[in-house]
A and B are shown apart, each in its own frame.
Chain A
Amino acid sequence: QKEVEQNSGPLSVPEGAIASLNCTYSDRVSQSFFWYRQYSGKSPELIMSIYSNGDKEDGRFTAQLNKASQYVSLLIRDSQPSDSATYLCAVNSGGSYIPTFGRGTSLIVHP
């Protein structure tokens, strides 16, 4: 059974710090990796997608993928209180229409 593991948190960081969110997955043939952000009472929205090993940067967000170690992480630089949300990791294997979601990590950025 495909599994995606995340620390549920909460992860608490001060404003301006780097927040590091981690995700591990069990299916070695996974090909697509996504980070979604979900504010309380709202729907998930895509933050980053990554498909190959290494880093991918978009503004204050950096996704890191290591397929050999089967983990994907999300770094948020210069964290802001508005970044406080639950971050969901999703992993998809080739040949499947269905991504597997982790349980999410709650991030709290305090002023």
Chain B
Amino acid sequence: DTAVSQTPKYLVTQMGNDKSIKCEQNLGHDTMYWYKQDSKKFLKIMFSYNNKELIINETVPNRFSPKSPDKAHLNLHINSLELGDSAVYFCASSQANALSTDTQYFGPGTRLTVL
């Protein structure tokens, strides 16, 4: 059984379009994350959700918005896509609390290509 799943795996779209990436985890974790990994492999945190509340929001463009319908899901919506948004986006989950964070479990990634 897949612990953290993402759909779609590949996403090719035109500049200016709006797209969504879905993420689900079946580990019972209470914290989920979105990361962006660029061509140089740097893993940059974008968002983190804990118990359906946004607990940190890095300085990403407001064209990006996370949506969490429940503790097991964290979707990423991107409006007005730009060329620079092309990257691999990873969803992750962990059992974290205010004192510490545990191992991150990553989804398989979504490779976004903006043309």
Determine if B103 and A34 form an interchain contact, defined as CB atoms under 8 angstroms apart.
yes
Which residues of A are found within 8 Å of B60, using beta-carbon distances? Answer: none
Q: Number of contacting residues on B, CB 8 A?
A: 25
List 5 contacting pairs A-B, 8 Å CB cutoff, sorted by A.
Answer: A43-B109, A95-B98, A97-B55, A103-B41, A104-B42
Which residues of A are found within 8 Å of B31, using beta-carbon distances? Answer: 97
Determine if A44 and B100 form an interchain contact, defined as CB atoms under 8 angstroms apart.
no
Interface of A is mostly: strand
| Residues of A bordering B, CB below 8 Å | 31-32, 34, 36, 38, 42-46, 49, 86, 88, 90, 92, 94-99, 101, 103-104
| Complex: A86 Cα to B40 Cα, angstroms | 11
Determine if B100 and A43 form an interchain contact, defined as CB atoms under 8 angstroms apart.
no
Which residues of A are found within 8 Å of B99, using beta-carbon distances? Answer: 94-95
